[in-house]
Amino acid sequence: MIDIENKIIDIISESLRIKVTSEYNWTDAESPVCYIRMLDNSTLEETLDGSLREHHARVTFRLEFYSNKSQGAKSEVKELLNTADEVMQDLKFTRTGYGFIPNLDRTWTRLYADYEAIVGEGRMKDGVTVHQMYRRS
């Protein structure tokens, strides 16, 4: 299985410089927060070889931004999403959804964006696995 979840979390975390997590345990964290989860990681069947080795996968991520500011929360999460969106677009992800979601705890403003891309199997380069990314077809 091709798995780039940790790489995406690290890249987004570096670009935003806020708490970025893939675990839903941040509710006591200081605002703002970015919650990332992989929604799907499925084999791109067209590129399977005779041994059924996975050469490409279709990956989908959801980024959720939360702010509990009493004023300006909506602007804050939009600004964070704009930064993350540039990064995801540069990585060749296509944004497939975006919007505000009511949060159970109404003190938090919640904005999400979904992204999809095709990722190729990794190749080692200088001791690091490098993946080729493609915009979804």
Range of the domain at 111: 5-135
Q: What is the pLDDT of residue 26?
A: 62
Peptide bond into 102 cis (omega under 30): no
What's the domain count of the chain? 1
CA–CA distance, 106 with 134 (Å, rounded to integer): 38
Q: How far is it, in rounded angstroms, from Cα 58 to Cα 115? A: 11
| pLDDT tens, position by position, 28-65 | 667 798 999 999 888 888 777 778 778 888 999 999 99
CATH number at residue 41: 3.30.2000
For position 16, what pLDDT does the model report? Answer: 93
Residues in the chain: 137
Q: In this structure, are residues 131 and 122 in contact, taking their beta carbons and an 8 Å threshold?
A: yes
Please report which residue ranges of 25-132 form alpha helices under DSSP H: 73-90
E-strand stretches of the chain: 19-21, 33-43, 56-67, 94-100, 109-120, 123-125, 128-130, 133-135
pLDDT tens digits, one per residue of 79-120: 999 999 999 999 999 999 999 999 888 889 999 999 999 998
Q: Is the pTM of this model over 0.85?
A: yes
Residue 73 backbone dihedrals phi, psi, to 5 degrees: -65, -40
